[in-house]
Amino acid sequence: MNWLLSLAAVCVLVPSVHCATATGWCYHNESCNDTQWPTLFPSYCAGSRQSPIDIVSASATADSNLTAFTFTNYDNNSALKEIKNTGKTVKITLTSGIKISGGGLSEPYDSLQFHLHWGNGSSVPGSEHTVNGKRYPMELHIVNSKATYNGDTALALKDSTGLAALGFFIEEMSGNAIGQPAKWNVLSSYLSEIVTSGQSYTVPSGISLDDLLKGVDRSKYYRYLGSLTTPTCNEAVVWTVFKDTIKVSKDVIDRFSTTVRIADDSSELMVEVFRGVQPAQPVTTQSSCSTSGYSLGLMALSLVLGRG
Ligand SMILES: [Zn+2]
């Protein structure tokens, strides 16, 4: 039986659930949640380099190719074009000319959009990647496509490194801050404009990607080869997961799980929108010996002193 038909049958039988989406997958109903994706989308979701993963920091091996990134136009405060409720996430499309390069990537990539994954308020964490088993409240993904494909993601998806995703953990700010950081407060205020699935809102200028990534040392990250974390789970993604977190106040984090809905006004709130962790992959990171010049110097010195 065709999976679309099977799914349609389930939706008729269980009308209260929210599986009747165009794409036929969901996060919460047992007929279409992430445990079913390998069956519903076997070509990729059942693959062997699936994302997200639990990153075991002690198992990450050093790779000297993981140099600093160059972020082009991340300071442009009119880079955020439109914010949209997709029914599965909140996605912000970016204007053209936003790019990344370096960071051990084979060529420059265009930054196309970013979106978020979250749990249920700050009490039920909802990041996709975990680090040493720890799940953070939220995770921001910036999706980048190889510049040579000129924004044609269909082409990028056929290339095992066609996309480069940047993952940033969002953590609750300490203390009793409210509405912080200010640019996150402004961005999350637009959620009330996109309560129902399919709604979008033009983002007024005033927020740059740098504003949203403040406080993160973008030279420290984990790298592995994985996949899209939503169907059809194409294994076309070079993943970069940053070690530092973005600190956001609790009220702003809570706004995501209390404002937007998965379908119409009477549908459920969009909560716990993340895929469970998949089998481990080899992870690399910067050399722990970041002062390699200094160590080489010491090595040379000990050789000279005959203590090599
Ligand atoms: Zn994502």
pLDDT tens per residue, range 49-71: 999 999 999 999 999 999 999 99
Q: Are 109 and 162 in contact (CB under 8 A)?
A: no
Asked if residues 262 and 18 have their Cβ atoms less than 8 Å apart, the reply is yes
* pLDDT mean over 264-287: 97
How many whole angstroms from 173 Cα to the centroid of ligand 1?
22
At 42 the three-state DSSP class reads helix
d(CA 84, CA 115): 9
Residue 220: the pLDDT is 98
Measured in angstroms, how far is the CA atom of residue 266 from the centroid of ligand 1? 25
Cβ–Cβ under 8 Å, residues 133 and 107: no
Determine the distance separating the centroid of ligand 1 and the alpha carbon of 148, expressed in angstroms.
22
The pLDDT of residue 126 is above 90:
yes
Residue 141 Cα to ligand 1 midpoint, Å, equals 5
Instruction: Give the CATH class of 47-286.
Output: alpha beta
Count other C-beta atoms under 10 Å from residue 86's C-beta: 20
Task: Say how many Å lie between the CA of residue 282 and the centre of ligand 1.
Answer: 20
Tracing tokens 């205020």 back to the chain, one arrives at 189
What's the pLDDT at 123? 81
Ligand 1 centroid–CA 11 distance in Å is 26
CA of 91 to the centre of ligand 1 (A): 9
Determine the angle formed by the axes of helices 182-189 and 250-259, rounding to 10 degrees: 10
Mean pLDDT of 43-48: 97
Backbone φ and ψ for 211, nearest 5 degrees, come out as -60, -40
Residue 262's beta-bridge partner residues? none
What is the distance in A from the centroid of ligand 1 to the CA of 116? 6
Distance (angstroms) between ligand 1 centre and the Cα of 25 equals 15
Q: Are strands 134-135 and 200-202 parallel, antiparallel or unpaired?
A: unpaired
How far, in Å, CA of 90 to CA of 178, rounded?
A: 22
| Distance spanning both ends of the chain, measured CA to CA | 69
- What is the 10 CA–ligand 1 centroid distance (Å)? 27
Planar angle of CA 244, 141, 259, nearest 5 degrees: 105
Structure tokens at 216: 């993160």
CA of 1 to the centre of ligand 1 (A): 30
Ligand 1 mean position to 65 CA, how many Å? 25
Distance from the alpha carbon of residue 2 to the mean position of ligand 1, in angstroms: 27
Per-residue model confidence as pLDDT tens digits over 114-123: 999 999 987 8
**Segment 81-96 mean pLDDT:** 98
pLDDT at 251 over 50: yes
Whole-number Cα distances in Å, 90 to 153, 190, 196, 302? 19, 10, 11, 56
Who's near 183: CB < 8 A, 6+ residues apart?
206, 207, 208, 211, 212, 214
The rounded Å distance from CA 52 to ligand 1 centre is 9
Pick the residue with more confidence: 204 or 299? 204
What does the pLDDT look like over 141-180, one tens digit per residue? Answer: 999 999 999 999 999 999 999 999 999 999 999 999 999 9
| Cis, peptide link before residue 181, omega less than 30° from 0 | yes
Judge whether residue 8 has pLDDT over 70.
Answer: no
Write down the domain spans for the chain: 1-33, 47-286
